[in-house]
Amino acid sequence: MLRTSLRSAACLRLVLASIAGVLLCVNVAAAQSTEPDPWEQARWRFGPLAVTPTVQLRNLGVDTNVFNEVNDPKKDFTTTVAGGADWWLRLGRARLLGTDVVEGVYFATYASERSINYFHRLTFEYPLNRIRPYVGGSYVNTKDRPGYEIDARARHTEWGTRAGVAIRATGKTIFDLSASQITTRSLAMPRFRARISRRSSIAKPRRLRARSATS
């Protein structure tokens, strides 16, 4: 009788251990296959709105050729600091994502090269089971070189639109198919013809980061 009881207790412990192991594996697999929700990782949350402030030192040093001159290049100490916020708004199952940044560029000697720049991005997405369609726009007002062929830092704007779909191919891999258009207009040279660039892309698959099962 005692031997039977011990055997039953051992079998019960084995069954419970097996169930616990299965549950742990399921929990870890779910944690690995779930894309992190930036709303839950944000610094501050106010009802459906979540915000994470950002501060960046983007540049600090000496520009050895401020004006991109071949002869007699000028050098100057420069620094670039940016501050802004990333925010997420829950609209039922849908999400509205935004990024707003103000950037200050400082040159110690050549004041004409100093500037305050603005960057804004807005995206609306609607996550489904394995598909996440999205559409968004962006606006940039900056004083920098629009391209390698232009030496002068000229104030210009960039209006962008983007649409696409993120497809979860496996538990850890996502493909991003998108199309975008950017229209660049010069504010310093009004006669400069607007430049429009269009692009369609299939982004490289990205792997999801595993999250702790206890988080």
Across 26-35, 47-56, 138-147, 161-170, the highest mean pLDDT is recorded for 47-56
% the chain with pLDDT above 90: 50
Cα(first)–Cα(last) distance of the chain, in Å?
Answer: 46
Determine which of 84-88, 141-145, 148-152, 178-182 has the lowest per-residue pLDDT on average: 148-152
pTM for the model stands at: 0.72
> Which position has the higher pLDDT, 53 or 173?
53
58 touches 83 (CB < 8 A) = no
Domain ranges of the chain: 1-33, 36-207
Judged against a pLDDT cut of 60, whether residue 46 lies above it is answered with yes
